[in-house]
Structure 1
Amino acid sequence: MRKIVLLIIFLGSVALYSQENMTTTYYFIRHAEKVLKPSENNPELTKKGKKRAENWSNVFKHVKFDMVFSSNFKRTIATASPTAKSKGLKIQLYDAKNAINKKFLENTKGKTVLIVGHSNTIPNYVNKLIGKKKYLDISDSNNSNLYIVTVNNKTVNNILLKIPF
């Protein structure tokens, strides 16, 4: 009986340690190329943008996402869709003004997450996660940035990759 109690205590300690030491990985991308119409504030993707969205799905072929997030715009949803579909995941919409909040961090802890956003939001989200202003807004002609942030306890790592297309 004593061995069973010790085993339960040990397994509980391992489970608690594992929860506290979970690694969360965030992948951030800007939406693909959009149709440029001055009067349109919610444009679709261009033909090139649709191809880029498919390319992102190929880039992420070996990444096991738990969740895919997009702002509620046609261009971000269309960029996220091929990856979400290939992973059998539903796109979860977020409020672009308040994406990285306490609830979001709790819900994504220990998961691998894709977030699709905009030239002025994605760098800000990354900066918020890493706790410093490292990244500036993305140029309107740049749809190739991939930011990866890993969080484990108080250790936060980040990298910016340029994915050509």
Structure 2
Amino acid sequence: MKRVLFLTLVLTSFYIRSQETQSTTIYLIRHAEKADTSKNPELSEQGIERALRWANYFEKIPLEIFYTTLTIRTQQTISSVASTKNKEIQFYQPATFSLKEIAAKHPGKTILIVGHSNTIPKHINDFLGEEIYEQIDENEFGNLYTISISDNKVHHQLTKPK
């Protein structure tokens, strides 16, 4: 009986600890290159190539949740990745979007968010509570922002393309 009780306590302890150490990872990227300067353009040929490179980059990363804005260029960028994972895409409005809400809604998940040069850094800075990341230059594509949340600790980094 003592052994059963001890085993139950050990297993319960491991279960509780595993729940506490859930790691949530959020990847954020800007849409790939636009075909033109119109209000809602598609991706250019170069942008399509970049979107495919993102699909290749994320191939072995177990992405579970996908968010993007309603613009054609963000949808084309995220579709290249989501389709390889056979996952649905959720849409968001940049003006009301909150990374805190996303992290709370999807604990322990791995998430990809595609947005815009002026919104991705803002969302991250709002989440972190300080101005760390600058707005992305209009001609800059390929930045990867990563936020990891584990044990109530937040780690973040920016990886620039080579």
Deviation at 1:95, TM superposition (A): 1.9
CA distance in 1, matches of 2:45, 2:138: 17
Gaps of 5+ in 2: none
Match of 2:111 in 1: 113
Match of 1:46 in 2: 44
Contact 2:149 2:155 in 1 (8 A): yes
Contact 1:64 1:112 in 2 (8 A): yes
CA distance in 2, matches of 1:2, 1:29: 53
Q: Mapping of 1:8-47 within 5 angstroms?
A: 8-37=8-37, 40-47=38-45
Gaps of 5+ in 1: none
Aligned residues: 162
Aligned residue for 2:136, secondary structure, equals coil
Match of 2:122 in 1: 124
Contact 2:24 2:103 in 1 (8 A): no
The reply on whether 1:84 has 2:82 as its aligned counterpart is yes
Q: What amino acid sits opposite 2:94 in the alignment?
A: A
CA distance in 2, matches of 1:125, 1:41: 22
CA distance in 2, matches of 1:153, 1:161: 23
Deviation at 1:51, TM superposition (A): 1.0
Q: What amino acid sits opposite 1:44 in the alignment?
A: E
Deviation at 1:49, TM superposition (A): 0.8
Deviation at 1:5, TM superposition (A): 4.1
The reply on whether 1:162 has 2:160 as its aligned counterpart is yes
Deviation at 1:73, TM superposition (A): 1.1
CA distance in 2, matches of 1:45, 1:21: 39
The reply on whether 1:68 has 2:66 as its aligned counterpart is yes
Identity of aligned residues (%): 36
CA distance in 2, matches of 1:4, 1:93: 49
CA distance in 2, matches of 1:51, 1:143: 12
RMSD: 1.7
Aligned residue for 1:97, secondary structure, equals helix
